[in-house]
Structure 1
């Protein structure tokens, strides 16, 4: 393992694990008062609430993906996952050992993301092509991501058949009933088919058969699907 120390000599050593909203903001805010090291598996910060828009308009991502080094000019970026911590050090998957006086853990949710900004831009382009080449699209999950993606596709590609399947009794279960009903009614006006209280067996469609079976006995024809379900917290490695 390789032990490293900050070069700026600002005094307090602050290591931030996670380059999402919280981790990036903490790093940016502290960089001129401390020796800041940001540890993140990817080299960029993403404005995540714009990600679904980027799936139907890939050029939009040019403004929402920002390399960490662009805003962290007085700090250090380590592009590798953290795998272990002690009372004074952080160990990364690449074998770096970084000492700290203060540690910020802002790992958010567990998600597999491309390492480079260019790879992420290419991913959005691929998802866009997946949407444009399909006549019918299945969205699994009626939370914020599923509802927004269905809306983005319905607005930009009104000719496509969009079906949203959710295993709960209503959409957006974390908000009030009135807001959930409004989202449901709006999707219906855009001809999005919403199936509630049902699950989808994604393995039920063979290579030549694009019909997916639901737990309610219905069959949904779709040229492609997007899985929009919750992701676990990215803190299991701390156990």
Structure 2
């Protein structure tokens, strides 16, 4: 019987975890990721408002990988036959898949730490009488929406430098978002910006 091909996947985000899972039983898979979990990135704002949601949106790699090995580290260097990690492991491969995504390198290493981070952010949010959101792109609009749904009595102000929200979309979407936020008593200030110089 032929030996299974060795696949090394660097990065446990959406692409890397999907590839590792899809080849888990078909090949000798090693996933290299500094975290012990996969996080659904577009669920982060919901988790800030409702930390229990993170129990479902943060999934330990060991929960969905049956046979693949996890090396909890970052890749340091790559040759044409092996990956060397920061932790000193040298992992040979037949196929290398690099799914490192963005340049963001922060964040906790474990699922438990990530959930604690969401809980801490949520406590700050619960204690606040008012919330100022700078930027009316998709993240700012979504965060404002998440907050007013769970905390309808909180004063939320959204400041955007453009003349309409989520301005990379069409005007119809911008108007709909603005109308909905205003219906939830969000104060939306357009064509203005917050100067952060000197603020701590």
Of 139, 142, 154, the match for 2:136: 142
1:39-188 equivalent positions in 2, closer than 5 A: 39-111=32-104, 112-188=106-182
TM-score (norm 1): 0.77
> Distance in 2 between the 1:77 and 1:26 partners?
13
Instruction: Give the C-alpha shift of residue 28 in structure 1.
Output: 0.4
> Distance in 1 between the 2:198 and 2:157 partners?
16
Q: Does 1:26 align with 2:26?
A: no
Q: CA RMSD in A?
A: 1.8
Instruction: Give the C-alpha shift of residue 203 in structure 1.
Output: 4.4
Instruction: Give the C-alpha shift of residue 40 in structure 1.
Output: 1.0
Higher helix share: 2
Task: Please say if residues 10 and 33 of structure 1, whose CA atoms lie closer than 8 Å, have aligned partners that are also in contact.
Answer: no
Q: Does 1:12 align with 2:9?
A: no
> Distance in 1 between the 2:193 and 2:75 partners?
35
Q: Does 1:199 align with 2:188?
A: no
Change (3 A) 1:205 1:159: farther
Task: Please say if residues 158 and 190 of structure 1, whose CA atoms lie closer than 8 Å, have aligned partners that are also in contact.
Answer: yes
Task: Please say if residues 22 and 106 of structure 1, whose CA atoms lie closer than 8 Å, have aligned partners that are also in contact.
Answer: yes
Structure 2 gaps of 5+ residues are none
Task: Please say if residues 45 and 143 of structure 2, whose CA atoms lie closer than 8 Å, have aligned partners that are also in contact.
Answer: yes
Query: Deviation string for 1:59-106 (max 9, x for gaps)?
Result: 111111110011112101111122322222222222222221111111
Higher strand share: 1
Q: Does 1:37 align with 2:30?
A: yes
Task: Please say if residues 132 and 157 of structure 2, whose CA atoms lie closer than 8 Å, have aligned partners that are also in contact.
Answer: yes
Change (3 A) 1:101 1:167: farther
> Distance in 2 between the 1:185 and 1:204 partners?
34
The runs of at least 4 consecutive aligned structure 1 residues that moved more than 6 Å come to none
